[in-house]
Amino acid sequence: MLWHRIITAVWGIPLMLAAAWVGGGTFLALLAAVQLLALAEGLRLARKWGLRPLPWLALGGGLALPLGLYYGQGYGVALTLSLLLLGHLVACVLLFPDYRPPDAAGGFLLSCYTALVLYLYVLRSLPEGRTWVLLVLLSTWAADTAAYFTGRLAGRRPLVAGLSPGKTLEGAVGGVLAAAAVAALVGYLVQSPYILAPVGLAVGLAAQLGDLVESAMKRHAGLKDSGGLLAGHGGILDRFDSLLFSAPLVYYLAALVYNRLR
């Protein structure tokens, strides 16, 4: 299992870093693929919850969101989300009684949840965007990796016993400290370690929360992994759950720092 995780990381991490470095449509296309694959896994979870979101509507909305972001920026995303919500609501009328409001709510929730990965593209568009994206990627990966190994080596107390018995308080602390250390290193390279180290602490906390949220989704579905696409890591959601929370957080922190310095 560990070797599978290493092999997946060997090709996955350089691919993501290279796309982030190039930015633009290349980076957005990769993130859109991640979003659609994660959304497909989310629909599988929803069926286990007893919901039946319309796959064509959810996946169509998942494809429209990156396009709206690319061509219309914030206005495009707002318009796409509004149309997607209206589409689910209208489907409840046209397909009554087969398409229920809980089905519509589940489909719309999954579209919004998986679309959080697109914050990496928005973050990349900020001034010094490469640095911010590098920080969030490396800090989040460090948090996940350190939490895993610290938990295995020194974990004693469950973090949330009823939800995810394998996650420990010691592992969470190790993850948060690792994220802060990596953020400080990135900050040292750009001569801002005292600014970015606290951001790393926040990333570490957000990563733990994102991981627990996805654990709750899988627990309700009675599944261990969201999918099996990534050897050693489970599914796309299993690999990107932390980034779904850390990317939006860093975007708003970075936007705040930029606005304060202008």
* 215-244 confidence digits (pLDDT tens): 999 999 998 888 776 655 578 998 899 999
In 153-226 the beta strands, taken as DSSP E runs, fall at 158-160, 164-168
What is the structure's pLDDT at 1? 53
Indicate whether 262 pLDDT > 70: no
Indicate whether 261 pLDDT > 80: no
Residue type at 109 in one-letter notation: L
Q: How many helices (H) and strands (E) does the chain have?
A: 10, 2
Indicate whether 86 pLDDT > 80: yes
* 25-36 confidence digits (pLDDT tens): 999 999 999 999
Indicate whether 68 pLDDT > 70: yes
Q: What is the DSSP letter of 87?
A: H
Q: How far is CA 124 from CA 26, 133, 170, 214, 258, in A?
A: 12, 6, 32, 25, 13
SS3 for 167? strand
Indicate whether 4 pLDDT > 60: no
| 28: Cα within 13 Å, side-chain hemisphere | 18
What is the structure's pLDDT at 225? 83
CA-based end-to-end distance of the chain: 48
CB 86 within 8 A of CB 74: no
Q: Which of 5-9, 12-16, 156-160, 177-181 bottoms out in mean pLDDT, i.e. has the lowest?
A: 5-9
Q: Which two tokens stand for residue 212?
A: 């627990």
Indicate whether 2 pLDDT > 60: no
What is the CA 119 to chain-centroid distance, rounded?
Answer: 9
User: Which position has the higher pLDDT, 232 or 247?
Assistant: 247
Helix, strand, coil percentages, rounded to 5, for the chain:
80, 5, 15
CA distance 232 to 243: 18
